[in-house]
Amino acid sequence: MTHEGTTSVDHGRGYYDQAHLDGRGDYSWDDEHWRDFFMSVADRLIGAFAPASVLDVGCGRGLLVQALTVQGVDASGLDISEHAVATAHADVRDRLAVASATAPIEGRYDLVTCIEVLEHMSATDAQLAIDRLTAVTDRVLFSSSPDPHGEPTHVNTQPGEAWAAWFAERGFFRRTDVDLSMITPWAVVFERGELTPHEIVRRYEQQYARVRTELLDKRRALLDADRAVNSLRERLDEGPADAEEVERLRAEVAQHRHAVLVSRDHVIGLEAENGRLQRDLSVVLPELRKLQRRVTVLTKRREELTAKLQDTRQRLERNRKRVAQLEAPPAPQASLTRRVARRVRRTFA
75, 107 Cβ separation under 8 angstroms? no
Inform me whether the pLDDT recorded for 288 exceeds 80: no
Write out pLDDT tens, residues 291-343: 767 777 877 888 888 888 888 888 888 888 887 777 666 555 556 666 666 76
What's the pLDDT score for residue 2? 43
Amino acid found at 230 = N
DSSP symbols for 246-262: HHHHHHHHHHHHHHHHH
Q: Which of 34-48, 148-162, 278-292 has the highest mean pLDDT?
A: 34-48
Inform me whether the pLDDT recorded for 284 exceeds 50: yes
State in Å, rounded, how far the first CA of the chain is from the last one.
105
| Distance from C-alpha of 101 to C-alpha of 8, rounded to nearest angstrom | 12
b (16+ CB within 10 A) / e for 339-348? eeeeeeeeee
Q: How does DSSP classify residue 9?
A: G
Write out pLDDT tens, residues 126-167: 999 999 999 999 999 999 988 766 677 788 888 888 999 999
CATH 3.40.50.150 at 8-193, yes or no: yes
Among 36-50, 111-125, 215-229, 260-274, which stretch is predicted with the lowest mean pLDDT?
260-274
Rg, C-alpha atoms of the chain: 34
Is the pLDDT higher at 92 or at 240?
92
Q: How much of the chain, in percent, has pLDDT values that exceed 90?
A: 36
Averaged confidence pLDDT in the chain: 80
287, 165 Cβ separation under 8 angstroms? yes
What's the pLDDT score for residue 331? 53
Sorted by where each begins, the domain ranges of the chain are 8-193, 200-301
Is the pLDDT higher at 126 or at 284?
126
Relative to beta strand 139-143, strand 188-192 is antiparallel
Amino acid found at 52 = A
109, 135 Cβ separation under 8 angstroms? no
DSSP symbols for 132-150: HHHHS-SEEEEE--SS-TT
3-state secondary structure of 79: strand
Sign of CA dihedral 64, 65, 69, 73: positive
197, 303 Cβ separation under 8 angstroms? no
What's the pLDDT score for residue 210? 66
Is the pLDDT higher at 124 or at 216?
124
Inform me whether the pLDDT recorded for 113 exceeds 50: yes
82, 8 Cβ separation under 8 angstroms? yes
What's the pLDDT score for residue 47? 93
110, 139 Cβ separation under 8 angstroms? yes
Inform me whether the pLDDT recorded for 274 exceeds 80: no
